[in-house]
């Protein structure tokens, strides 16, 4: 049991700093801040305590689960993450201080759809770790407002970007897929961050090979010499050096139509589907290219696929970079480029 009473940023846990699974005697939970009614807070604390006892909470990695709370009287989605303060983490390593307090932050939403935002919420907690201080002043001025704005800051940016750009969203989707650098001018800080988060969520980073991504970024920068610019000085954002294709325009309509429901989780799901379809198209094209190395009919299939998929311009760039070291495949790509130009 920790001798000093630390607490959490939500519903919290000072627990032993040791990596072993804590038994029920090893930790206590004390509350730092919540906006839940007392009864629901007790139920949530009990849920977190069980998870801690089972060793189901790993440092810095968020989880999402369904939790039954009496208020409101149905199950809610709960994102929860265990962490230790950044500077205390270093101290604990140096001094082997087993009494360093740990925290558990819980964010509750209407369903388990928080899972689609788990990476964003993990980053949100990272920022909290660095700035967390137990002094009352820090809690009131920084920690409490930061915790209360989690939904606005981590979940809503995609929705806000859709509402800001409307039909021009196709250009942003194209920039994300093609690794085109984007500059935002004359915008407030929140809008800049929103667009940056949208691009990070829409890019295929982690889904295509890392070397491919680096080469694509270099190729796109060299090819265009200019970033795409979003100028927010007027009532409507103006875009310069922007490109688009049929694939991105089709998905833009899906986003704009989704705006009628006003549910931010829907936008994230649409974005995941958009990326999934792009990856499927890349894999299909790669398969056709492998077949086309030995078969002229397959080469024609490649060409028809590129013509009809709506994003042939981007797909061709991606496979060109990936097949740069493979002579047979590179020849196929060169032929396809000629056909597409004609």
Tens-place pLDDT, residues 259-315:
776 788 889 889 999 999 999 999 999 999 999 988 888 999 999 999 999 999 889
Q: In which residue are the tokens 């270099």 written?
A: 218
Angle between helix 157-165 and 189-202 (nearest 10): 100
CB atoms < 10 A from the CB of 83, how many? 24
Say how far apart CA 217 and CA 205 lie, in whole Å.
11
Residues 295 and 222 in one domain: yes
- Domain presence at residue 206: yes
- Domain presence at residue 92: no
Say how far apart CA 308 and CA 69 lie, in whole Å.
50
pLDDT classification of 6: cutoffs 50, 70, 90: very low
- Evaluate whether 108 touches 127 at the Cβ level (below 8 Å): no
Residues 175 and 300 in one domain: yes
Residues 125 and 186 in one domain: no
- Domain presence at residue 1: no
- Domain presence at residue 94: no
DSSP per residue, 183-251: EEES--HHHHHHHHHHHHHHS-BTTB-HHHHHHHHHHHHHHHSS-EEEE-SSSS-EEES----HHHHHH
- Domain presence at residue 144: no
- Domain presence at residue 257: yes
Domain range for 188 is 165-341
- Give the three-state DSSP class for 68: strand
pLDDT classification of 20: cutoffs 50, 70, 90: very low
Range ranked top by mean pLDDT from 19-33, 139-153, 203-217 = 139-153
pTM (2 decimals)? 0.81
Say how far apart CA 77 and CA 25 lie, in whole Å.
28
Residues 127 and 182 in one domain: no
Cis peptide before 85 (omega within 30 of 0): no
- Evaluate whether 114 touches 17 at the Cβ level (below 8 Å): no
How many domains are there within the chain? 2
Residues 180 and 269 in one domain: yes
Angle between helix 189-202 and 169-178 (nearest 10): 50
Residues 229 and 275 in one domain: yes
- Domain presence at residue 299: yes
pLDDT on residue 11: 41
Q: What tokens appear for 70 in the block?
A: 């009496």
């Amino acid at each position: 049991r920790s001798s000093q009473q630390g607490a959490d940023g939500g519903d919290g846990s000072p627990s032993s700093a040791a990596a072993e699974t804590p038994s029920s005697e090893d930790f206590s939970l004390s509350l730092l801040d919540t906006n839940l009614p007392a009864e629901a807070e007790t139920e949530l604390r009990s849920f977190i305590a069980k998870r801690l006892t089972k060793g189901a909470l790993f440092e810095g990695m968020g989880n999402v689960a369904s939790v039954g709370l009496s208020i409101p009287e149905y199950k809610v989605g709960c994102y929860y993450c265990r962490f230790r303060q950044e500077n205390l983490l270093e101290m604990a390593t140096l001094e082997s201080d087993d009494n360093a307090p740990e925290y558990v932050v819980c964010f509750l939403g209407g369903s388990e759809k928080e899972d689609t935002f788990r990476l964003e919420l993990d980053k949100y907690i990272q920022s909290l770790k660095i700035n967390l201080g137990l002094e009352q002043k820090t809690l009131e001025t920084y920690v409490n407002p930061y915790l209360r704005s989690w939904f606005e800051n981590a979940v809503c940016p995609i929705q806000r970007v859709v509402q800001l750009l409307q039909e021009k969203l196709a250009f942003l989707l194209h920039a994300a897929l093609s690794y085109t650098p984007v500059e935002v001018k004359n915008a407030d800080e929140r809008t800049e961050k929103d667009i940056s988060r949208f691009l990070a969520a829409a890019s295929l980073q982690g889904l295509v090979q890392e070397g491919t991504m680096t080469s694509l970024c270099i190729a796109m920068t060299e090819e265009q010499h200019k970033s795409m610019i979003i100028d927010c000085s007027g009532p409507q954002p103006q875009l310069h050096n922007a490109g688009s294709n049929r694939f991105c325009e089709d998905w833009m309509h899906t986003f704009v139509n989704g705006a009628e429901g006003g549910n931010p989780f829907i936008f994230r799901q649409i974005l995941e589907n958009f990326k999934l379809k792009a990856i499927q198209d890349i894999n299909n094209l790669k398969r056709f290219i492998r077949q086309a190395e030995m078969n002229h009919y397959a080469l024609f299939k490649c060409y028809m696929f590129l013509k009809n998929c709506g994003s042939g311009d981007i797909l061709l760039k991606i496979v060109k970079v990936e097949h740069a070291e493979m002579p047979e495949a590179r020849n196929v790509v060169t032929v396809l480029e000629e056909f597409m130009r004609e």
